[in-house]
Amino acid sequence: MTTSITEIETHGVERIPDEDRSARPIDLFRLAFGGANTFATCVLGAFPVLLGLSFLQGLAATALGLLAGALLLAPMALFGPANGTNNAVSSSAHLGVHGRIVGSFLSLLTAIAFFSISVWSSGDALIGGAHRLADVPESEVSYGAAYAVFAVLVLIVCVYGFRFMLLVNKVAVTAASALFVLGAVAFGGDFDPGYAGTFDSTADPLFWPSFIGAALIVLSNPVSFGAFLGDWSRYIPAATPRRRVMGAAFLAQLATLLPFVFGLATASIIATKAATYVDPAAPNYVGGLLAISPGWYFLPLCLIALIGGLSTGTTALYGTGLDFSSVFPRFSRVRATFLIGTLSIVFVFLGRFALNLTQSISTFATLIVTCTAPWMIVMVLGYVIRRGWYDAEALQVFNRRQRGGRYWFTHGWNWRGMSAWLVSAVVALLFVNLPGQFVGPLGNLANGADISLPVGLALAAVSYLGLLAAFPEPRAVYGPDGPRLVRASAADAPPITDSPGSPDGLSTTATATSPEHT
């Protein structure tokens, strides 16, 4: 059954019926790439220059961070087709029926943060370009109007749902990419690939911390999509080859080299021609970009701001509403999207005009990504150990307000996965080093380099595998072929039953020994 783009999507986090799953890997590519093909990514691309690297050094750091991030992210696309639901619900298999709220709140907070960043950066670029192009005043009223237009358009698209969002991103991917390529013409005459940066040589004691920091900033962008991929890939049929699904997610991140390199190249020009805009103490990439742009490129900049803000905002806010409805099942996806969208819009205005949270929310987003990375490791390793086998009915126990099932573990919590995530996230936060913003107690142990992400990733992998080996999970959570790499215990899992006060009519026939799986 094909759903019209003008028909409001009614599916929440319940398993998408097979007849409604008509999306293709290319659709996943468009959504993942479109959500990152924006000014927000360009700002991240400018960081190597802000940290003092040359253009070529920054390019190497960008390529390294993007490749590592894409490899880490790609397996997260597999849960959607396998289970027909989002990644937070799928995490029930590894963190427990109740433990899956970790993924829901991580994605909720990430989405609100990146929605805010997208609205602010795109709104600022739009008004800045309009001021240069048509003398539109750069006043709080103008900025407020731009933010309101972005936010309302995003909310409308998200309420209509997946098909409408997919249409928007089909247009956005092509249009924004073409406008970024046009930037090569606009800035080609001023660009110098030999831009030297501020380091005399790699022997400078601050070089490697800056290089590693730049690579990790880039890596954080793919990681930020980890909780969202299932929102989109759940519409892909389960029979789709895994390599195609992973390939779409991987290539979508590699494609973001376009906005990353645009940001890197233009930042090097800004550092040469308008250095005050790349002062690490008060960087203003958008302002610097407008300062060096030729007059004829102001309109393309406005279009990039409009298209990119709409694309990123929809991919972020759509997941927000979906996850809220999964944590509070009484809310439909539409009601949850409208509620969270409205609150997010209020937050955007308060943060920009009343509380001045623009820089703080960027720091907050970085900290949330630091906590998300270990969660992703638990999910990916869990997928490998389970051989990609899941019980779709048992994954929905929380949403149906039931009890029991394969993933009930200890009162709905799988303390193995929860412990691995929690310890790794806390330790990673201790190693965060964001000068002038947030420096953890252990943030200076690596000579000023921010090694929070690799520490969190490594610790999550070691601790999760160690806990599974020392305290085997019940045989019931594995498929017919049993676990990979670890052993299973003989413990039984309880049958699925209705909780007291749950709605009438919910199925209670599925048990932990049911052969049904996806």
The pLDDT tens digits for 188-222 are 989 999 999 888 788 888 888 889 888 988 988 89
**One-letter identity of residue 97:** V
pLDDT the model gives residue 516: 35
Residue 403 dihedral angles phi and psi, to the nearest 5°:
-135, 160
CA distances from 116 to 76, 351, 360, 517 (A): 24, 9, 11, 39
Encoded tokens for 196: 């030297």
Which structural domains are found in the chain, ordered by start? Answer: 26-495 (1.10.4160.10)
Please state the rounded mean pLDDT for residues 319-330: 68
Give which of 421, 422, 439 is closest to 430, Cα–Cα: 439
pLDDT the model gives residue 1: 45
pLDDT digits (tens, 9 = 90+) for 380-420: 999 999 999 999 889 988 888 888 999 999 999 999 999 99
Cβ-Cβ contacts under 8 Å for 82 (sequence gap 6 or more): 90, 238, 388, 390, 518
Please state the rounded mean pLDDT for residues 477-488: 91
CA distances from 423 to 371, 459, 460 (A): 10, 8, 8
Q: Minimum mean pLDDT among 51-55, 356-360, 379-383, 473-477: which range?
A: 356-360
Asked if 95 and 101 count as a contact pair (C-beta separation under 8 A), the reply is no
Asked if 516 and 476 count as a contact pair (C-beta separation under 8 A), the reply is no
**One-letter identity of residue 440:** G
Please state the rounded mean pLDDT for residues 314-339: 71
Query: Does 512 have pLDDT greater than 50?
Result: no
Give which of 333, 69, 361, 340 is closest to 225, Cα–Cα: 69
Asked if 127 and 435 count as a contact pair (C-beta separation under 8 A), the reply is no
**One-letter identity of residue 147:** Y
pLDDT the model gives residue 374: 95
Q: What DSSP character marks residue 410?
A: B
pLDDT the model gives residue 507: 40
Query: Does 518 have pLDDT greater than 70?
Result: no
Encoded tokens for 89: 């619900």
Q: What is the mean pLDDT of the chain?
A: 84
Query: Does 504 have pLDDT greater than 50?
Result: no
pLDDT digits (tens, 9 = 90+) for 9-59: 556 667 888 888 888 999 899 888 988 888 878 888 998 998 889 999 999
Per the model's pLDDT, the better-predicted residue between 92 and 104 turns out to be: 92
Per the model's pLDDT, the better-predicted residue between 9 and 266 turns out to be: 266
In residues, how long is the chain? 518
pLDDT the model gives residue 120: 80
% pLDDT > 90, the chain: 36
pLDDT the model gives residue 357: 65
Encoded tokens for 267: 């930042």
Q: Minimum mean pLDDT among 119-123, 297-301, 420-424: which range?
A: 119-123
pLDDT the model gives residue 499: 67
Q: What is the value of pTM for the model shown? A: 0.85
% pLDDT > 70, the chain: 88
Per the model's pLDDT, the better-predicted residue between 507 and 359 turns out to be: 359
